Amino acid sequence: MGLLEDKVVLVNGGSQGVGAGIVRAAVREGATVVLTGRRAEVGEKLAAETGARFVRADLSDATQARDSVVQVVDAYGRIDCLVNAAGLTSRGSLLDTTPELFDAHIATNLRAPFFAMQAAVADMTSREAPGTVVNIISNCAHGGPPHLAPYSTAKAGLAGLTRNAAHAHRWDRIRINGLNIGWTDTEGEDATQRAFHDAGDDWRDKAAAALPMGRLGQVDEIADFVVLLLSDRSGVVTGSVIDWDQTVLGGLD
């Protein structure tokens, strides 16, 4: 039996990067998986590869974020697990962030998880059934670098939402947790490094040399951790926002 046997799992932002890794891990562990993304060709390719179902959605639209859950419930009769993995990482500091950039970060990184969670928890409570939610947050929720001001703001909000919702629905046996992931090796991060930091082909090697464990975070490791949190094997844990990184906050040399 897999850790998610007979569970219906929605991975929002599941067509690439960490989300795609979670899709693969959840399918491997026996779940019926639905994934969302904006690019149909990418999502459909992953769906064909894994046996998951793809739903095209622009999660920056609150209605589409909510409807992603509605479509899962319509197709399978319920939702057992929700993962919010979509993320916008475009750069902006306090001084140069426009209202449009700020709103874009809030829409994708905070508002979308809020309304997806709203719909998922509504289904779970209506059935008086337990469920689990995992939000992919960021260690930037603790502050972040200057060039990620709107991103850090939205992710800090998501950390607060995770704890608030977990507290509100603990008696419903709905467990809601989050991961503050650090620097992770994804195709999206590769594009970001090249677009915003003039990185060359050796950027991963340079990054690894500057990190305590000698490597960037790996998607498959994060995905396995998320599956554990979604599953009954994580026990009663709820309201935890776990720092999944090699930086020890508060540690000083």
**pLDDT above 80 (res 188):** no
User: Is 76 a known active-site residue?
Assistant: no
Among residues 54, 151, 225, 244, the one annotated as catalytic is: 151
Task: State pLDDT tens for residues 71-82.
Answer: 999 999 999 999
**pLDDT above 90 (res 116):** yes
Calculate what percentage of the chain has a pLDDT beyond 70.
100
Task: State pLDDT tens for residues 36-54.
Answer: 999 999 999 999 999 999 9
Place of tokens 């990054």: 207
CA distance 116 to 103: 18
Question: pLDDT-derived band of residue 189, with 50, 70 and 90 as boundaries?
Answer: confident
DSSP tag of 39: -
User: Please, are residues 184 and 218 in contact by the beta-carbon 8 Å criterion?
Assistant: yes
- Cα angle 62, 41, 66 (rounded to 5 degrees) comes to 15
